[in-house]
Amino acid sequence: NLCRCTGYRPILEGCKTFCNKKNCCSKVELDEFNQELDKDIVSTELYDSSKFTPYDPSQELIFPPELLILGKQPPSSFTISGSKVTWISPTSLDQLISTKQNFPHSKLVAGHLEIGINTKYHGVSNSVLISTANIKELNDITETTDGISVGAAVSIARLKQELEAIIQRLPEHRTRIFSGFVEIFKRFGCCQVRNVASLAGNIVTARSTSDLCTVLVGAKCQLIIKSSQGSERQIIIDDTFFSPDGKCGLNSDEILTTIIIPFSKELLKLLQQNFMAPNQSHRRDNSFAIVNAGLRIALERSNVDNWAVKDCTLAYGGMGPKILIAKRTSLALIGKEWKNDIIEDSIASIGEDLPLEYSATGGAVEYRKALAASFFFKFFMKVQSDLSKEKVNPDQPSTDDLRRPIVHLAGLQQTTGEAQYTLDIPEYRNELHASILQSKRAHAIIKSINCDDAINLPGVHGYVSAEDVPGSNRFGHLMPEEDIFSTEKVTSHGQMIGLIVAETKEIADAAVRLIKIEYEDLPAILTIKDAIKAESFFSKPIHLAGGNIEEGFASSDHIIEDELYMGGQEHFYMENQAVIVVPKAEAMELEISVTTQSLRETQFAVAKALGIPSNRITCHVKRLGGGFGGKKNRISSLSAAVAVAARKLRRPIRLLVDRHVDMAIKGSRAPYLTKYKVGFNNDGKLNALQIKMYCNSGYSMDLSPVIMSFSMIRLFGSYAVENFDYTGISCKTNINSTTAFRGYGTPQAVLITEKIMTEVANRCGVSQRKIRESCLHAEGYISSFNQKLENCQIRNVWNELIQRSDYENRKLKLGNDDDNYTSNMLVIRNNRFKKRGMAIVPCSHGIGYTGTEFLDQAGALIQVYIDGSLLLSHGGVELGQGLHTKLIQICTHILGIPKEKIHLIESNSAIIPNATQTSNSSATDLYGAATKDACEKLNERLTPIRAMMPNATWEELINAAYFNRVSLSVAGYFVDPIATVFNFETKTGIAIKYYTYGAAVSEVEVDTLTGEHQNLRTDIVMDVGRSLNPAIDIGQVEGAFVQGLGLYTLEQQYYTPEGIPLMTGPENYKIPTASDIPREFRIALLRNSENNKAVLSSKGIGEPPLSLASSIFLALYDAVMACRLEKNLSGSFKFDSPATPESVRMACADEIIEKIKNTDQKEGENEWGIRC
């Protein structure tokens, strides 16, 4: 469900192939726009369905007959006893009660969701679990005159189906509560979760942010509870049923058996009930709510025109440690007429009913208070609409998928699960498992470590630390600056102190929890502002300047000074980091299977730690389940640590890093704080720019200076600026070391650039298009780093985007029909609480390893066997981006053989030594060129044989070459003739090889009461040169854009004031899902573009499209501006990245926000979470 790197479109398209062909939305004819696009760009036929093997149902795997027979038999009770847990499955309610009597502290299990998470991640153990799956009484749904009775074990998916059937069958006024439940169910978890989760499970879990519990309280549902002594009680669930410590009102001997959901009522048009269950989460689905509500009101007609409140329940979740009812507000509303007069008093009263402390868990205190008030306001408007019979017909256009699913070498294997990853390698005989002992402090001295309890745990084979390292305990990318195992001091939470090695992963994890460490805390620097204040920086600042900035500011009509904060981003790849080390019996040899983007760096780190030559170590990887930079060099220290353990114990050792550990130790994209000053004229002409960028590098440099240098040369990368002064500073703090991430400093530079351009246009009253076009790069322009632009395509890309996106007509519809800023005038007139925004941005992404020209080399090896089959090896790593597929296409193009003849096994350091890492959008450029070189050498060797056998088949040709003793093993090698070496001080050298150009237009719609938005449409035009595989390149555009969408609008990192990362799993760190992609997602590749600086005139594409998602951020900025202008508020406002629902809502700054009292900070009270 979470796979942002695909852009989700291929997954959705694949699913559509299973739909009924007559009704499937994927079969709808393309509109004229898309038809024109298809024939201009590339054929959408990625396969010929006529060549598919006809479907034969008789060849399907049959469902096991034994299970079919078993399924028809009545269930029988059983018990499974393990070493730690006993599983009991009764078949009747009486058996369940009896079992509960015998085991009063046992846990009842339906979906096993919360219990599974608590067991795996929080160390909670349960000795007895009782399954409710086979108890008929708990799995029944019964309709009564007052509502429906739902068994406690009924799944959410089944209940949703039943409620939908009832809604279709009964009058609308009787099913309003049911409709509220169904709407919540649609956003509850995911399909897999809904299939097993139950209402009762959510009730007893008692989360304050549980959507279901809040709805149950708001709807005044009833619970039937039985005790093991035989007594029964029936209660109406309210906020007193839940306690602040996360427990519910069930005694240890009681069982929740039934939930009763009532019908809503309407009597002779004199009495009616309305119900609404709003919620706001970090993303649209599969995410816990920030705030939710169950709002129910019963109205009776007071006179012909008015309705008065007879009963009211306003229940809220996420406004405290438990679910709360706004009791004073609910009581105050009773008896009052349902008119606009009640809004102001009710909003103020809700704020008093639902106070939040400054340090409240989850943070975002003011936003949550605004949401609670906004939910009531939305409910009020909904009820008013229902009373006046004015039904809104929301416009929800279907997604227009421009391209078909990505097809690459392992596409089918990955879809079916046949593709093998590192942890799919079967366990070796005598294999052991490792678990990491992490630091629990951000900055502290290690006073003592007590491992006695851990070592004595049965199944534990040892503890490994710095004392066991035979070579060097230091490693690093730019210099050896970090410890593999921390010894005397830790400088970040999550740093590795040691490894526990045991027979199973579960035992190793349990042993780690038993280790006791005594710390002496030291002052910690966490945020960029803390680092600036303490002058805690790495090395000296990077500086780039040109022109005369003082004269530029002096001649300017306007000057803007401001700052922009941009948060970091987690890699969140599908496959976690993993390593398997197998020690060999002789010569200290090691075989390492590892999830790395750089076999060279991993091999070197292990060799250095063990004090042995690199030729004794073989590192290999078949493919990665995503990398994005997170598996480039941070995996090296983990590999070295496991290698030390394997050498010490002389056993194969496997390390799987769980998601929450992976996110805590690996590092992320660096947060940036940028202070800027820009001078410009009334017509928008830029006269002077002064920009100072600070990045939070964490406790070590890692790659931060290199990333910052990339940011510097990509500032205003598409625009001509005469006078500028840029400074880049890497801050040393006590968070985990930030590291490489897709885009490599460019997404930060692009957002800063486009935010400044947008502000300049707004201040001058010049259109966003005009302000950008006036200074777009042109052929021959000398860049800020003194490099002349050649084959500059940015204006061609821009013009094609304007045409294809129908930009001007769409701006007219939004009211932006002149140079004055009159954003969204039509939308303003039509809807006060829905605003649309639109933004257009270019991007010029320079390709090349700036300052590290030694990386611009690559090797490949072709081996042809006498049957004509070809084995291709190269030093790149398949990250899922189609590298292998493109290299095979190069082979087929040069050698003239079908792709079925070519195979790749894996990437292996023993075959291609010293391989450059797969990163920086350069893998195809490098390894494609090396593969091309190998193919051309092979053709040269075969030329004499071809001359003798001009009509020979490939197989005959190879066979003849073999018998003529022609070597069929060919090494290809490529050295880039362009040395990317640049000196910032002298502004000499070459910073980039070439540009990949792109531009995007995005349109959004914002709910100004909650801050939630819909991405309505995005158009992108990319210059990829002459694409080697348009389908893969378009897939890369989509995937990178969606990853950028998460960076700019959704994904946020928080730390405790003590430096502990709070976002360490999918439970609280939210990446985009399929619901977040633009409803219309249109991608086009620029035609007739050449590039003589890369293989076969192609261009690197993996990273450049990511920055184009800044168009979504700026479209949100545009929509918020429209909301503020309507209220005559300032057009200048704080709007940092990511533009989450919280920041959007608070920036709208309406009357509701004004009425919310500021939360007082008590003495000694800290905020729940901080952004570093």
- 10 Å Cβ neighbour count for 426? 5
CA–CA gap between residue 41 and residue 804 (Å, rounded): 12
**CA distance between the termini of the chain:** 29
Whose structure tokens read 């507000």?
Answer: 329
Identify residue 698 by its one-letter amino acid code: G
CA–CA gap between residue 308 and residue 429 (Å, rounded): 76
CA–CA gap between residue 579 and residue 643 (Å, rounded): 9
Pair of tokens at residue 540: 């000296």
Give the DSSP H or E segment for 200: helix 199-205
Per DSSP, 577 falls in state P
Are 926 and 916 in contact by the 8 Å Cβ rule? The answer is yes
Identify residue 983 by its one-letter amino acid code: N
For residue 586, give every residue at least 6 positions away whose Cβ sits within 8 Å of its Cβ, in sequence order, or none. none
CA–CA gap between residue 944 and residue 938 (Å, rounded): 11
Per DSSP, 198 falls in state B
The SS3 assignment for 373 reads helix
CA–CA gap between residue 782 and residue 790 (Å, rounded): 10
Indicate if the alpha-carbon torsion angle 347, 353, 359, 360 is positive or negative: negative
Active site residues: 1103
Listing DSSP states for 49-84 in one string gives GGGSPPP-GGGSPPPPHHHHHHHHSPP--EEEE-SS
User: How do 672-680 and 516-521 pair as beta strands?
Assistant: unpaired
The SS3 assignment for 323 reads coil
User: How do 994-1007 and 834-847 pair as beta strands?
Assistant: antiparallel
Q: Helix, strand, coil shares of the chain as percentages rounded to 5?
A: 35, 25, 40
CA–CA gap between residue 208 and residue 215 (Å, rounded): 12
Rounded to whole angstroms, the maximal C-alpha distance in the chain is 105
Distances (CA, A) of 232 to 146, 253, 557: 20, 12, 79
Pair of tokens at residue 557: 């009509």
- 10 Å Cβ neighbour count for 896? 10
Pair of tokens at residue 849: 């390893």
Distances (CA, A) of 572 to 274, 499, 938, 1041: 41, 24, 41, 15
Whose structure tokens read 């906004």?
Answer: 374
CA–CA gap between residue 163 and residue 791 (Å, rounded): 61
CA–CA gap between residue 1046 and residue 1083 (Å, rounded): 19
For residue 943, give every residue at least 6 positions away whose Cβ sits within 8 Å of its Cβ, in sequence order, or none. none
Whose structure tokens read 């460490």?
Answer: 517
**In what order do the strands lie in the sheet containing 86-89?**
78-81, 86-89, 128-131, 107-109
CA–CA gap between residue 925 and residue 921 (Å, rounded): 8
Are 337 and 234 in contact by the 8 Å Cβ rule? The answer is no
Torsion of CA 414, 415, 417, 419, to 10 degrees: -20
CA–CA gap between residue 1047 and residue 239 (Å, rounded): 37
Are 708 and 738 in contact by the 8 Å Cβ rule? The answer is no
Helices (H) and strands (E) in the chain, counts: 34, 44
Residue among 68, 243, 262 at smallest CA distance from 146: 262
